[in-house]
């Protein structure tokens, strides 16, 4: 499909992976019902037959881009199969940044089922990772006694990069790492602090519960999109400020690698 060339070119242009990239490919995840369209996705995998642990990567509101592809390639370089589903194209959308509309929670489980059915994947060692809007879907997909109850396959652990935390209960099904910038004015760090503390906020009522599965990292002097080198100089978008932060991005990469090593390889 036309978007694949674009995202591959973006990945090459960014070239920020810490290890050698493995060639990725376009795959189609079959529909879950007669009326459901197949789901295009970017797949990256290590060399060899495996089976390997795996990770589903959910994109932000702008869809598949160089940041997502680089993360998939980076994960493959670390020894994980990574699949990044495109939740926009099947719905005829180019963006969901204004509407916030997202099918990513359902799509994450479609991708999970796809991975679990591959002979080169360890079905009991599959994680979920999301960026921005996809990070919000990650939290929703991984909430304990939530949507996950309706799906046979389960994620083992999750990472959320600058998610909208305001609507999440914070009670998760397993280890969850949340990373956000202190100066993020789109998905505020204080919303994530309230989530982890179990504090209710406007529109969200949180009951007392165990939230010890969530680790929150807040980066000082850091804005939304701190993973994206395309906004190194900073940029305004829909009334919010986006800016890459090299120090935060590098630290997030180290934390992510350690997290996946701990929860997907043991």
For residue 77, give its domain range: 2-264
Determine the pLDDT at residue 68.
96
Query: What integer pLDDT is reported at residue 23 of this predicted model?
Result: 64
Structure tokens at 174: 């397993």
3-state DSSP assignment of residue 210: coil
If one counts the domains in the chain, the total is 1
CB 105 within 8 A of CB 60: no
**Number of helices and strands in the chain (H, E):** 6, 10
Residue that the structure tokens 């509407």 belong to: 99
Per-residue confidence (pLDDT) for residue 33, from 0 to 100:
58
Q: 């929703």: which residue's tokens? A: 140
Question: Tokens in use for 83?
Answer: 């699949």
| Helix H or strand E segment including 129 | strand 121-131
Q: Alpha helix (H) ranges present in 78-198?
A: 104-116, 133-142, 189-197
- pLDDT tens string 192-239: 999 999 988 776 788 889 899 999 999 999 999 999 999 999 999 999
Q: What is the CATH number of the domain that holds 96?
A: 3.40.50.1820
What is the structure's pLDDT at 22?
Answer: 52
Sorted by sequence, the CB contacts under 8 Å of residue 125 that are 6+ apart come out as 53, 54, 156, 264, 265
- According to the model, what pLDDT value does residue 115 have? 97
Which ranges of the chain have pLDDT less than 50? 1-21
Structure tokens of 158? 């999750």
| Six token digits for residue 51 | 């089976």
Q: Residue 218, exposed/middle/buried by CB under 10 A (0-12, 13-18, 19+)?
A: middle
Please give the DSSP secondary-structure letter assigned to residue 31.
P
């Amino acid at each position: 499909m036309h978007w694949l060339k674009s995202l591959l070119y973006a990945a090459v242009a960014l070239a920020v992976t810490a290890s050698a990239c493995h060639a990725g490919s376009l795959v189609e995840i079959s529909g879950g019902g007669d009326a459901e369209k197949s789901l295009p996705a970017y797949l990256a995998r290590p060399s060899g037959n495996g089976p390997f642990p795996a990770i589903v990567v959910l994109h932000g509101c702008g869809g598949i881009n160089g940041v997502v592809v680089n993360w998939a390639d980076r994960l493959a370089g670390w020894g994980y199969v990574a699949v990044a589903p495109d939740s926009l194209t099947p719905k005829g959308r180019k963006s969901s940044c204004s509407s916030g509309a997202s099918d990513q929670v359902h799509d994450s489980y479609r991708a999970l089922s796809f991975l679990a059915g591959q002979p080169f994947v360890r079905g009991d060692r599959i994680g979920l990772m999301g960026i921005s809007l996809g990070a919000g879907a990650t939290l929703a997909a991984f909430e304990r006694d939530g949507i996950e109850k309706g799906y046979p396959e389960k994620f083992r652990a999750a990472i959320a990069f600058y998610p909208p935390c305001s609507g999440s209960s914070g009670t998760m099904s397993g280890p969850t790492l949340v990373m956000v910038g202190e100066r993020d004015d789109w998905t505020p760090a204080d919303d994530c602090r309230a989530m982890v503390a179990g504090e209710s906020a406007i529109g969200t009522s949180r009951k007392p519960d165990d939230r010890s599965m969530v680790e929150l990292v807040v980066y000082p002097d850091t804005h939304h999109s701190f993973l994206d080198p395309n906004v190194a100089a900073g940029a305004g978008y829909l009334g919010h400020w986006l800016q890459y932060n090299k120090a935060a991005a590098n630290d997030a990469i180290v934390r992510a690698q350690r997290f996946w090593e701990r929860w997907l390889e043991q």
